[in-house]
Amino acid sequence: MRTIFWDDGVVMVDQTLLPERFEILVCKTVHQLAEAIKRLAVRGAPALEAAGAYGIALAAYERDFNDLVEIKKHIQDAARLLASTRPTAVNLFVGIERALKAAMSGDSIEEVRKLALQEAERIAEEDVERNKKLGEYGAELIEDGSTIMTYCNAGRLATVDWGTALGVVRSAVSQGKRVKVIACETRPLNQGSRLTCWELIQDGIDVTLITDSMAGIVMQKSMVDCVIVGADRIVRDAVFNKIGTYTVAVLAKHHGIPFYVAAPRATFDWNRSMKEVTIEERSRDELIYCGNRLLAPENVRVYNPAFDPTPLDLVSAIITEYGIIREPYSENVPKILEL
């Protein structure tokens, strides 16, 4: 089953409930979808690309309109609302923009609706295809018998299907390679323990869970052959990904372990640099509470950025659906991705 799809509304696996419950969430309005994105019921840069595009389709279908001007205005408002939900993953904006542009070219209410949904479906389809291509390229980097460390969830649940970092793992496994995964739990929201472990176990892929703080010792003990992570945005001097990615990259550098980033072309925002990207700061409650447990004094000051930038000099290669990109990135990224 796909992580996100259209069925008379935007349908998704509610990722906030895994691994406790597998529940399907149906968003019938753009407001419902915006809420779902904000509370991370759907997350992961490529999945957000599809979510943004489906959101535009939802705007077109969620109510009746009197004329073309009204539906187009409504869709433009929806685009702004959806774009305001999360600031870091560039794919969200790509998905919104593509579907918006398609919708705007329509000459009737029905055509606007059709074009928006068609483009959203195309984006979802393309995501699955590009991840499989990316996975095939990436699998060339994986030797039989390797142990791969990953961080956060750049898997099926972060995409429409197959995954980016975990897409590489899946492609290597499909090629018959024996591969083990070490998953960092990824505090504070535990996407690693909740989502990566869950989806790898579903697929019968060997996975061992560690805390983020154990990334050092497993590298010191030579238990890791390479690291593969996803990305929320790649600018010309850094990779923005889930908070903690930078820490793992520094550790990999220190231990001489290859550090790979797996991400589709749409994740690149090559005209921007590290300093120009807003890093989302999330609620302090994420560090203070865990279910019915109080993990810290309720009045403590908290710093809770959702992402961090990893300078490109810590990245051994970027795996894309156009091929594997190595240094010098300033030259090879525009060349290979035709940017």
Q: Which residues are catalytic?
A: 232
Minimum distance from residue 246 beta carbon to its own copies (Å): 4
Q: Which of 22, 73, 144, 305 binds its own copies (CB under 8 A)?
A: 305
Closest by alpha carbon to 151, among 200, 201, 192? 192
State which residue, 74 or 272, has the beta carbon closest to its own copies.
272
Site for its own copies in 10-39 (CB under 8 A): 19-20
How many other C-beta atoms lie within 10 A of the C-beta of residue 28?
13
The Cα-based distances of 175 to 171, 186, 319 in angstroms read 6, 28, 17
The dihedral over CA atoms of 202, 257, 235, 310, expressed in degrees to the nearest 10, equals: 90
302 lines the binding site for its own copies (CB under 8 A): yes
| Size of site (CB under 8 A) for its own copies | 56
State which of residues 204, 278, 301, 338 lies at the interface with its own copies (CB under 8 A).
Answer: 301
Among 111, 250, 280, 323, binds its own copies (CB under 8 A): 250
251 scored as a contact of its own copies (CB under 8 A): yes
Any contact of residue 132 with its own copies (CB under 8 A)?
A: no
Length of the chain: 339
Among 256, 278, 299, 328, binds its own copies (CB under 8 A): 299
* Residue closest to 135 by CA, chosen among 100, 168, 98, 163: 168
Q: At its nearest, how many Å lie between its own copies and the CB of residue 5?
A: 24
Amino acid at 139: A
φ/ψ of residue 89, rounded to 5: -70, 115
Q: Which stretch binds its own copies (CB under 8 A): 104-112, 116-124, 129-137, 207-215?
A: 207-215
Question: What is the x/- site pattern for its own copies, positions 309-338, by CB under 8 A?
Answer: x-----------------------------
Answer for which of 119, 185, 269, 321 binds its own copies (CB under 8 A) is 185
Task: Choose, by CB under 8 A, the member of 204, 256, 297, 328 that binds its own copies.
Answer: 297
Answer for which of 220, 222, 283, 330 binds its own copies (CB under 8 A) is: 220
| Residue that has been written with the tokens 């309720």 in this structure | 298
Phi and psi at 149, nearest 5°, equal -90, 140
How far apart (Å, rounded) are the C-alpha atoms in residues 306 and 54? 24
Q: Which of residues 73-92 bind its own copies (CB under 8 A)?
A: none
256 near its own copies (CB under 8 A): no
- Residue 150 makes contact with its own copies by CB under 8 A: no
Report DSSP state, residue 9: S
User: Given candidates 290, 323, 327, 336, which one binds its own copies under the rule CB under 8 A?
Assistant: 290
Question: What distances in angstroms separate CA 263 from CA 82, 131, 159, 292, one per listed residue?
Answer: 22, 8, 11, 36
Cα distances (Å, whole numbers) of residue 279 to 50, 87, 190, 233, 307: 22, 7, 19, 11, 6
Write the burial class of residue 196 (CB in 10 Å: 0-12 exposed, 13-18 middle, 19+ buried).
buried
Minimum separation from the CB atom of position 249 to its own copies (A):
8
Q: Which is nearer to its own copies, 32 or 186 (CB)?
A: 186
Determine contact, residues 321/133, Cβ cutoff 8 Å.
yes
> Which of 201, 276, 281, 330 is close enough to bind its own copies by CB under 8 A?
201
Cα 4 to Cα 151: distance, rounded to the nearest angstrom? 22
Asked if 40 interacts with its own copies (CB under 8 A), we say no
- Minimum separation from the CB atom of position 66 to its own copies (A): 48
The residues that bridge with 132 in the sheet, in sequence order, are: none
By CB under 8 A, name the binding residues for its own copies: 19-20, 182, 184-188, 190, 193-194, 197-198, 201, 206-218, 220, 243-244, 246-247, 249-251, 253-254, 287-288, 290-297, 299-305, 308-309
